A = this chain, B = another copy of it.
């Protein structure tokens, strides 16, 4: 059955019936607006949009996968402020001939990814559109902590990373060349494994700056460097290429460093910490903050593609 046949209100009923209820939900879908708990009298909020053919392809990922990715992109932004996600709102634009089941399975993926952090989908909107588009807003709670912004890095800080780099970009390249394996790379592209807990953990530890790596490590650390008016020097040796990624890169004729340093979509979290701070498990040191500007690797400019401009 198409979404047109299901009708707007029918489809909303079918989708909301599949959604769970997070701990912070005071009033969920079905009214003019939702009401969400904001325990410390502040709410963290971020929006990310995914466009069919640009951020995802329906022949490369299932609706459930796309739901996971759409939720992860937003939940990672909340975590990278040092906050715990509480709720998602979803605006879904669908071609009239889209199967209603696709929308339902998208909701399954959104709900399952949100449930990983105790959150849920609390509201949304649906419309017909020639272009399948998913705009997600995530809300979160800082638990009394200061938000960890991009502008707080200081020369002498260490740069640390939680989560994986390059897997999703490698999976994207694999899929774009018409392959379906290695599975670990393709799956990483379809459903990122985001270290959500690392964000609040870093905030509690005294992180001075933090960012979600969505456009690529060099590009995103470039935002931290610019906002903090510092330079960042990465240790080339900190980015060992996993064997499967190296093999895939060799087979495809790609330099795997471009995946690791320039690829987005894994939603790793990078943070800067005072130099003397011991890093907890899950975080690894990848560089340090210096006087100056821009991002270098072992003191030298990085020559590969640095990131992603969504208009080019």
Does A101 belong to the interface (CB within 8 Å)?
A: no
Tell which of A42-50, A183-191, A278-286 binds the partner: A42-50
Q: With an 8 A cutoff between CB atoms, is A312 at the interface?
A: yes
* CB atoms of A131 and B93 under 8 A apart: yes
Is A252 positioned at the interface, with any CB of B under 8 Å from its CB?
no
Given A7-B311, A11-B311, A89-B45, CB of A31 within 8 Å of CB of B150: yes
A236: shortest Cβ distance to chain B, in Å? 26
Residue in contact with A49 in the complex, picked from B6, B8, B80, B127, CB distance below 8 Å: B127
A310 part of interface (Cβ distance < 8 Å): yes
In whole Å, how far is A223's beta carbon from the nearest beta carbon of chain B?
9
On whether the beta carbons of B91 and A91 are closer than 8 Å, the reply is: yes
The answer to whether A48 and B125 touch (CB under 8 A), given A33-B83, A41-B37, A89-B137, is: yes
Taking a contact as CB atoms closer than 8 A, the residue among B38, B44, B80, B127 that contacts A51 in the complex is B127
Q: With a 10 A CB-CB cut-off, give which of A39, A89, A138 has the most chain B CB atoms.
A: A89
* Interface assignment of A205: CB less than 8 Å from any CB of chain B: no
- Decide if A47 touches B135 in the complex (CB within 8 Å): yes
Residues 83-105 (chain A) with a chain B CB within 8 angstroms: 83, 87, 89-94, 96
Q: Which residue of B lies closest to A138 (CB)?
A: B33
A297 within 8 A of B: no
Q: With an 8 A cutoff between CB atoms, is A109 at the interface?
A: no
A125 x B7 contact (CB < 8 A): no
Choice from B3, B6, B43, B130 contacting A139 with Cβ under 8 Å: B43
Asked if B48 contacts A8 (CB within 8 A), the reply is no
Instruction: Decide: B49 and A147 in contact? CB cutoff 8 A.
Output: no
Interface membership of A59, Cβ < 8 A: no
Interface residues of A in 46-67 (CB under 8 A from B): 46-51, 54-55
**Contacting residues, chain B, for A240 (C-beta < 8 A):** none
CB atoms of A44 and B54 under 8 A apart: no
Q: Within 8 Å CB of A80, what residues of B?
A: 32-33
CB-based contact B40/A41 at 8 Å: yes
Are B47 and A89 closer than 8 Å at their CB atoms?
Answer: yes
If the complex has contacts A39-B41, A93-B131, A133-B129, are A32 and B49 also in contact, measured as CB distance less than 8 A? no
Give the distance to chain B from A229, nearest Cβ to Cβ, in Å. 14
The reply to whether B45 and A123 contact each other, CB–CB distance below 8 Å, is yes
Residue A128 is within 8 A (CB to CB) of chain B in the complex: yes
The yes or no answer to A35 lying at the interface (CB within 8 A) is yes
Query: Is there a chain B Cβ closer than 8 Å to A26's Cβ?
Result: yes
B26 touches A46 (CB 8 A): no
* Contact B33–A310 (Cβ < 8 Å): no
Q: Given that A123-B47, A131-B130 are contacting pairs, would A140 and B41 also be in contact in the complex, using a CB cutoff of 8 Å?
A: no
Chain B residue numbers with a CB within 8 Å of A147 are 26-27, 31, 33, 35
Q: Is the CB of A122 within 8 A of B51?
A: no
Is A212 among interface residues, defined by CB-CB distance under 8 A?
Answer: yes
Known A32-B210, A48-B125, A54-B128; further 10 A-B contacts with Cβ < 8 A: A27-B149, A31-B147, A32-B77, A33-B45, A35-B45, A43-B139, A51-B129, A91-B135, A127-B311, A131-B131
